[in-house]
């Protein structure tokens, strides 16, 4: 399983571990990934994703999974997230046709 956020594309970074004696050795900074279940209001389904804690705060800030995916760029999203985005947009389109 790759260590990449499915919504933001945030992955491992590299840098230096610096000792008290100022010795520098390479290390990896891993994103804080969590397995969460997010519910879509338009489809009524729950989706399990592996996202970073920062992405979870962003989803909450934007008003839910539907609003986050509507505003997100396709380049940053994983293949699963793109599929979810398509399902949500299709559900929104069909609901709009029914209300007219």
pLDDT-derived band at 95, boundaries 50, 70, 90:
low
Span 53-79, average pLDDT: 95
Q: Is residue 5 assigned to a domain?
A: no
The per-residue pLDDT for range 7-62, each reduced to its tens digit, is 999 999 999 999 999 999 999 999 999 999 999 999 999 999 999 999 999 999 99
Instruction: Please indicate, yes or no, if residue 6 is contained in any of the structural domains.
Output: no
- The answer to the question of residue 3 being in a domain is no
* In-domain check, residue 23: yes
Q: Is there a domain that residue 2 lies in?
A: no
Query: Is residue 7 assigned to a domain?
Result: no
CATH of the domain at 32: 2.30.170.40
Return d(Cα 77, Cα 71) in angstroms, integer. 11
Rounded to whole angstroms, the Cα distance separating 19 from 13 reads 19
Res 77: pLDDT? 94
So what's the pLDDT on residue 5?
96
The total number of structural domains in the chain stands at 1
- Global pTM reads 0.82
The separation between CA 16 and the C-alpha centre of its own chain, rounded to angstroms, equals 27
Domain that holds residue 85: 13-99
């Amino acid at each position: 399983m790759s260590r990449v956020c499915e919504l933001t594309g945030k992955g491992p970074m590299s840098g230096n571990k610096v000792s008290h004696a100022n010795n520098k050795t390479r290390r990896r900074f891993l994103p804080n990934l969590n397995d969460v279940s997010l519910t879509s209001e338009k489809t009524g389904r729950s989706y399990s994703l592996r996202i970073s804690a920062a992405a979870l705060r962003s989803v909450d800030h934007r008003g839910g999974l539907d609003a986050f995916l509507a505003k997100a760029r396709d380049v940053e999203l994983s293949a699963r997230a793109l599929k979810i985005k398509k399902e949500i947009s299709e559900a929104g389109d069909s609901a709009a046709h029914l209300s007219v």
